[in-house]
């Protein structure tokens, strides 16, 4: 989960899975974290719901290790 300051700057990131507080400095997460934001549509049973969560890198690695088909990986060509 994420909290933002009044100006919109990122203030806090907490892993929804394990509760770890991610280091945030000057509005930027300073360690590995994945943010998921998904709007469920008509074809789901959650039509109209938007779900958000964050996972630390450890929880992400644990989650994908359960996948039957590995995550697709490619090299990032440009660093934004
Ligand atoms: Zn975690």
Query: Is residue 80 very low, low, confident or very high in pLDDT (cuts 50, 70, 90)?
Result: low
Res 79 pLDDT > 80: no
- For ligand 1, the distance from its centroid to the CA atom of residue 34, given in whole angstroms, is 10
User: Which of 64, 59, 50 lies closest to 19, judged by CA?
Assistant: 59
Half-sphere exposure of 44 (CA within 13 A, CB side): 10
- Within the chain, strands assigned E span 2-4, 10-14, 21-22, 24-25, 28-29, 33-39, 50-56
- For ligand 1, the distance from its centroid to the CA atom of residue 14, given in whole angstroms, is 8
- For ligand 1, the distance from its centroid to the CA atom of residue 43, given in whole angstroms, is 30
pLDDT in tens, 31-78: 999 999 999 999 999 999 999 999 999 999 999 999 999 999 999 888
Q: pTM for the whole thing?
A: 0.86
């Amino acid at each position: 989960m994420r909290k933002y300051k009044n100006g919109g700057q990122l203030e806090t990131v907490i892993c929804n899975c394990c509760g770890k507080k991610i280091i945030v400095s000057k509005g930027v997460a300073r360690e590995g974290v994945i943010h998921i934001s998904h709007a469920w549509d008509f074809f789901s049973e959650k039509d109209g719901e938007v779900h958000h969560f964050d996972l630390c890198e450890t929880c992400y690695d644990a989650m994908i290790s359960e996948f039957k088909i590995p995550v697709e990986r490619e090299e990032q060509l440009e660093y934004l």
